[in-house]
Amino acid sequence: MCLPLFFGKRDWDKPYRKDPEGRYGHVYCPNCRNFSVGPVCRREFVTLCMVPLIPLYWGQQLRCGVCNWRQDFKNTEQLEKVLVEQTRLRGGGI
């Protein structure tokens, strides 16, 4: 009897839990030049028959909703620094 096994990789993104007001929701994307980048919590797994088995990545990223550009960040302080730079980019000053 032959039983095929299907291996793959699955990604899950969910909204950044420390951003309930949506403060970081419209950051500039250096790839597509839109203001559509926002923070997400990302998880990537190796799957067997669509069941997640081995985690490949577990962390936080900035993600563009238009072109799917991504960049890792470690903590809220890094995210605040990005927000300050974005304010300068838009011409708002500090």
Q: How is the chain split into domains, by residue range?
A: 7-92
| Global model pTM greater than 0.75 | no
Which ranges of the chain would DSSP assign to H, the alpha helix? Answer: 76-89
Greater model confidence, 58 or 2: 58
| Exposure of 25 in the CB half-sphere (CA atoms within 13 A) | 7
The encoded tokens of residue 73 equal 């960040």
Distance CA(22)–CA(39), nearest Å, equals 9
Distance CA(34)–CA(37), nearest Å, equals 8
Q: Is the pLDDT of residue 20 over 80?
A: no
Among residues 76, 77, 94, the alpha carbon closest in space to that of 85 is found at 94
pLDDT in tens, 34-75: 888 989 999 999 998 888 899 998 999 999 999 999 999 988
At 92 the pLDDT is: 60
Mean pLDDT of the chain: 85
